[in-house]
Structure 1
């Protein structure tokens, strides 16, 4: 198997994972902003030789509309037409650079566009008048790097650790028009939009990531990736539309494990794996107060990759098999204060469409590798 091809497969696979997690919002109202961190995604550029660049783009789309409280779906929301619908589009520009054959650096410039449709924000569900709010623009930039532990081509496996910084460049206090406001529901009000469609979260964050692969044979390879975004800031100072609390700046996490299959077709590979992405109720560092919708989604993640020369294309369509809106920090506090169990709901998507394109810029002509990675030991 061509080692150059394997390098691209592993890179685009992990890039796809981290970019999926980046602003995937756990496929819904659970506000994940970045696996909000593709800096890890870029970590695979460790597969770049010294002086090489990898430029790319990643496009994602999902529609969240199924409401969950815990793991139970509130089917009546769809039947009654009161469910919230988020249509979310993401476009990322990525730049990766091989500092050495094992050390890499990366930059991710994300853009988002959201359209949110609801009744409860525009007079209440009982009023029955559905309207939309929108938010679009630059999201939170990611800068990072990482290091592969083993020289490439010497073992049938390798692992890399990475770290990065999330800069609060995205708008986290975007406003739009809300209808049917006031006691007589005859007023239009300009107010802050929901947290799930804000382009940024308003906090300076730090991410840690891990990625690795193990070649089983000529045709099969195992891959895994882990990611955690630490947001030390508790809240971002922006009050929710109702003014009851400030937006929280939550941590985020994601994990992926899967198998890549290389058929006897040059440049083609298929992937099947599992994907976990979520927002915790309590942060690793700093406080956890403020408004957030914590939870997670577990998905089956099939994909296909095609590589020709220095160009790689990848399509993944993870579909959710479990969605869980867990108790938030505020839910737990109110449960203690009132003695009555509280747990909010959140809307999730059924699936996510992710398409990525990467192009390798080399200083010299690409070298051909005839060694099969299976026999490297």
Structure 2
């Protein structure tokens, strides 16, 4: 790579929402992140357009009982089955598959990797359906979560069906990389489940019983693994060497951890009108997110205060949530998370330069990685 660019720094403004104060590192000539943001948004739109037809076709193959839940979850139908023009998500993971294939194999490889991109999107949404049940989240993408509408059992079964669809899509793909791709995706699902298990187990432990190291390992498994797998699948479909595929996987994992760090910051201080989730939802359920654990283990007076607050169940007290958020910030959790996100992005850039040394070819992947850590929604 001929230039070093990392994620932007985001801090809380007077209203409490996140504000961007420019990137850590250098930028291209068109101003702070503007060109990269536009490129990333174009790649996300292209990915959505590429994967949605096959994604819809895959979901249409499900039994009616599973299909209606999946269509609701993706925002394509209302709960009563009438058509909707909802939000199916940003398509970050499919975009990474396609950008990785294009970076190493050009437009032909990108076209060949669409089915792999759909499979990754199905696995991502399988995990969302299950996570919402386990975390008892009531909103996603500005609408009630599937389990609140259809019940726990139906939401879990719909998630299981999406995972099966993903593996079937790859297994049936005549592309020579499909066998390696389905194995890698299946391994990723196991890692996702292990990460979620670690997350739920940590929630049952006291505020002083969780280490920062295990929280980082859990976040890599839950978030970094699938982003890494997405990039690796793109490399496989481009016919990349094993070394380059592993470098792409490492790039995605590091970028994924940066993504999770910023996501956890947004989970505490983000604007609910933009996030689609209630303010302080993670704090209300006493979630041991990365900023919280960093604050709890900081050894500061604010950490002691935070541990006391976190040891008491939430009782619908918004002022209490504000006190907890302030304690996390005073204990350094917010600053630590933002600095760690920049560090992980630096590592991601290094891994990307190993697989795709040409900055021009790597531009799409770089823009996507910066986009997910620059966001404030």
TM-score (norm 1): 0.26
TM-score (norm 2): 0.26
Structure number having the greater strand percentage? 1
Rg bigger for which structure? 1
